[in-house]
Amino acid sequence: MTAFLDQAMPSVSDVMELRARLFAVLLGIAVLLLVLNLVRTRKLKEEFALLWLLTAVVLVLTPLFIDYLDMIAYALGIEYPPALIFVLAIISLLLILFQFSLRISRFSEQIKVMVQELALLRAQVEDLERSAEGEGEKNAEDQNVEDQALAP
């Protein structure tokens, strides 16, 4: 009878593993809902949301397929299977940082072009103001000459 109960009831380590899996799934769902809400309220752009949605999906699926990840880790010669998850997480973070670096580079170039265009526009405005002042003074002088000629 005790053998039957041992098989029917999970051991303490299995329960903890189930709790850890449940926590990871709930964490993934929470991240998924948070990202969707931020996109919906337009606080997060869609292009960045894709990476975070992918992260949330991975957080949800990883605990469900952890046994397969363990097999892949052993096949790759990784003695401690959770290390594979850390390696994949680090690679994912590096990809996110790479995307941010690309965006920063593109924005830097756009800012440089905009500053140059702004400087040219300011120079044009100053030239127009100077020419308008010069024409205003010339018109005032012409008016004075006309007034003097008409005066008796």
pTM to 2 decimal places: 0.61
Q: Return the pLDDT at 138.
A: 67
18 in any annotated domain:
yes
Cβ burial of 66 (10 Å; 0-12, 13-18, 19+) is middle
Q: What is the pLDDT of residue 12?
A: 43
Alpha helices in 2-81 (DSSP H): 2-8, 12-40, 46-64, 66-75
Q: Please list the pLDDT of the chain residue by residue as tens digits (152 residues).
A: 444 434 444 444 445 588 888 888 898 899 899 989 998 999 988 877 888 888 888 888 888 888 888 899 999 999 988 898 899 889 988 988 998 899 999 999 999 999 999 999 999 999 999 998 877 666 666 666 566 666 55
How far, CA to CA in Å, does 43 sit from each of 36, 77, 112? 10, 43, 26
Residue 131 sits in the same domain as residue 104: yes
Q: Which of 19, 34, 64 is the endpoint of a domain?
A: 64
Domain boundary among 16, 37, 64: 64
Q: 6: domain range?
A: 1-64
DSSP secondary structure letters along 72-104: HHHHTT-SSTHHHHHHHHHHHHHHHHHHHHHHH
- pLDDT at residue number 10: 44
End-to-end CA distance of the chain: 134
Q: Based on the structure, what is the number of domains in the chain?
A: 2
Same domain, 49 and 93: no
- Residue 128 within a domain: yes
Cα separations (Å) of 118 from 104, 122, 136?
A: 21, 6, 27
Decide which of 64, 95, 118 is a domain's last residue: 64
